[in-house]
Amino acid sequence: MSSFGVRLASKVAERGSLVVGIDPHPGLLAAWGLPDSARGVAEFSRIVVESLADLVPMVKPQSALYERHGSQGVAALEDTLSLARELGVLSLVDAKRGDIGSTMTAYAEAYLGPMSSLAGDAVTLSPYLGFGSLQPALEMAADNERGVFVLALTSNPEGASVQHATGPEGRSVAATIARDVAEANADARRRGELGSVGMVVGATVGDAVRKLGIDLAETAAPLLAPGVGAQGAGPDELRAVFGLSASNGQLLPTTSRAILAHGPDPAALRQAVFDAVAELDSLTD
Ligand SMILES: O=C(O)c1cc(=O)[nH]c(=O)n1[C@@H]1O[C@H](COP(=O)(O)O)[C@@H](O)[C@H]1O
């Protein structure tokens, strides 16, 4: 195998950059004629993965929507990850974990450990206990050729109150996270590769990247951009956030409900992805 960043870059080169989130909300389960249960969530996820595994570089199951069904829901998440692996699509477990270092080690084992059934190819992490507290996860990811995506500028309007706040040295929290991500990816950057430590930068954050003086190219990070579709962002908003770097191979727009609303017919799900990709292609026009 090779590093997560290299594997991701090669999938993106083959299939484009749109990541589809698997968010089995109760309303979607009902619309698909499925029960709001672990069995419903498992069936929903199977249909999404089987329909899209050859079309998109990575799927992103939202852990909370499995956890709400207890241990059987978590088992459905494990089955989803194993099906994704079998069908050759990368998986990013959206669990947004973060804790003190000693506890982080346990989360790292759960989501990035070599033998863990809950480990996909990558996991989302929250750095708000301090970026350094994520170190056990960064190490576990590197040891197992897996990746992490660290929240920096989230797509929700409440995020700015923490992420734009300025520390004593005059740098914003988000810019400090970007600096730490750049340091973690320094070796990959020197090799001219995409790093395995990704960053989440919402498609809805407007001019925050520029305003906070963040150099996204410098981070060498894959940039997960949620907020596309149901949260209102499209190509114009992505262009406003990422500018020309939109086409430099780092950007991974991600959308969940806007695609999932077209299920459960596999052909309709695939068409929704084709349509979303065509719309996003206007970014590079
Ligand atoms: O890490 C994420 O994926 C994430 C970060 C963020 O800043 N905003 C955000 O919406 N997300 C996740 O992305 C998905 C967005 O879903 P839709 O709004 O349906 O496209 C949800 O699973 C969110 O939890």
The per-residue b/e assignment along 56-94, b for 16 or more CB within 10 angstroms, e otherwise, is bbbbbbbbebbeebeeebbbbbbbbbebbeeeebbbbbb
What is the pLDDT, as a whole number, of residue 112? 98
Say if ligand 1 is within 6 A of residue 154 CB. yes
Calculate how far, in angstroms, residue 225's C-alpha sits from the geometric centre of ligand 1. 9
Give CA–CA dist 190/238, Å, rounded: 27
pLDDT above 90: residue 282: no
Is the pTM higher than 0.95? The answer reads yes
Class level of CATH domain 4-284: alpha beta
The answer, yes or no, to whether ipTM is higher than 0.95 is yes
Give CA–CA dist 132/255, Å, rounded: 29
pLDDT digits (tens, 9 = 90+) for 101-158: 999 999 999 999 999 999 999 999 999 999 999 999 999 999 999 999 999 999 999 9
pLDDT digits (tens, 9 = 90+) for 195-211: 999 999 999 999 999 99
Say if ligand 1 is within 6 A of residue 24 CB. no
Calculate how far, in angstroms, residue 201's C-alpha sits from the geometric centre of ligand 1. 11
Q: Which of 11, 60, 96, 211 is catalytic?
A: 96
Calculate how far, in angstroms, residue 226's C-alpha sits from the geometric centre of ligand 1. 5
- pLDDT band for 249, please (50, 70, 90 cuts): confident
Q: What is the phi-psi region of residue 88: left when phi exceeds 0, alpha when psi lies from -120 to 50, beta otherwise?
A: left
Catalytic residue list contains 60: no
User: Residue ranges per domain, the chain?
Assistant: 4-284
Lookup: tokens for 159 = 């995020």
Average pLDDT value over all residues in the chain:
96
Q: Are strands 58-61 and 19-22 parallel, antiparallel or unpaired?
A: parallel
- pLDDT band for 283, please (50, 70, 90 cuts): low
